[in-house]
Amino acid sequence: MTQYVIPALEQVSIPVVGTTARFPVQRIYCVGRNYVDHAQEMGFTGREPPFFFIKPANTVVVANAGETATVPYPTLTKDFQHEIELVACIGTGGKNIKASDAKKHIYGYAVGLDMTRRDLQGEQKKLGRPWCIGKSFDHASPIGPITQADQAGDIENAELFIQVNGKDRQRSTVTKLIWNIGEIIEHISVAWELQPGDLIYTGTPAGVAAVSVGDTMHGHVDGLTDIHVKVV
């Protein structure tokens, strides 16, 4: 067995519906501005090529079925925002994957939140600097149990929403993705070799808004396990 000079991090993993075996997380890819109405609310229009950012695996917060997970209000921000997203979970890696073959690489899907320190992201954007401090902080990637693709129903037509304290904040359908799941995988797999365990947060619709300490977020995508996450 390999000996390490400092403690090695434990493998981050996510429960899978219908089995006790867990999904090990590799990288987390996020797609920027992938719903027209959200692109517009962020001040952009049209179908620009998709772009991506990465969060470390250990930003994952697992929201188990029937439980309320907690996310601490992060440091440095006064504008901590939710982004509800469908997450595609890669089971088979590959590079230069065609959109038409992408389904074969997807193990399953989950409901995710791409939590964002929006004020810090905005400052970095203005300065032309990386978004890391706005996006890739601790506890920034809540996610629910994974449903295997063949059990997830018609995910391409699923409705998704997030409510905060029982009130609608974002509501849309996966049909409104600018770049669909296959196209996203095609683009990512040209730039990086996808690996088993990679997660892809596919983007968020309009209505991103701030949460405060004490707020509870309820995320939903048709066919998948709902998530409940409280800001503490």
Contact positions toward Mn ion, by CB under 5 A? 83, 114, 204
Nearer to Mn ion, 44 or 151 (CB): 44
Closest to Mn ion by CB, 116 or 147: 116
We find the least distance from the C-beta atom of residue 159 to Mn ion, in angstroms, to be 18
Q: How many whole angstroms separate alpha carbon 186 and alpha carbon 182? A: 6
CB of 232 to Mn ion, least distance (A): 22
Which is closer to Mn ion, CB of 16 or CB of 206? 206
In the complex, minimum distance from the CB of residue 112 to Mn ion, in angstroms, rounded to a whole number: 9
Residue with smaller CB distance to Mn ion, 62 or 208: 208
- Residue nearest to Mn ion as judged by C-beta position: 114
Shortest Å distance, C-beta 21 to Mn ion: 28
Rounded to a whole number of angstroms, the minimum distance from the CB of residue 211 to Mn ion is 15
| Closest to Mn ion by CB, 114 or 186 | 114
| 82 or 228: CB nearest Mn ion | 82
Q: How far is the CB of 221 from Mn ion (least distance, A)?
A: 14
Nearest residue to 229 (alpha-carbon basis) of 58, 148, 219: 219
- In DSSP notation, the chain reads ----SSPPPPPPEEEETTEEEEEEP--EEEESS-BHHHHHHTT--S-PPP-EEEE-GGGEEE--TTSEEEEPPPTT-S-EEE-EEEEEEESS-BSS--GGGGGGGEEEEEEEE--EEHHHHHHHHHHT--SHHHHSSTT-EEE-PBEEGGGS-SGGG-EEEEEETTEEEEEEEGGGBSS-HHHHHHHHHHHS-B-TT-EEE----S--EE--TT-EEEEEETTS--EEEEE-
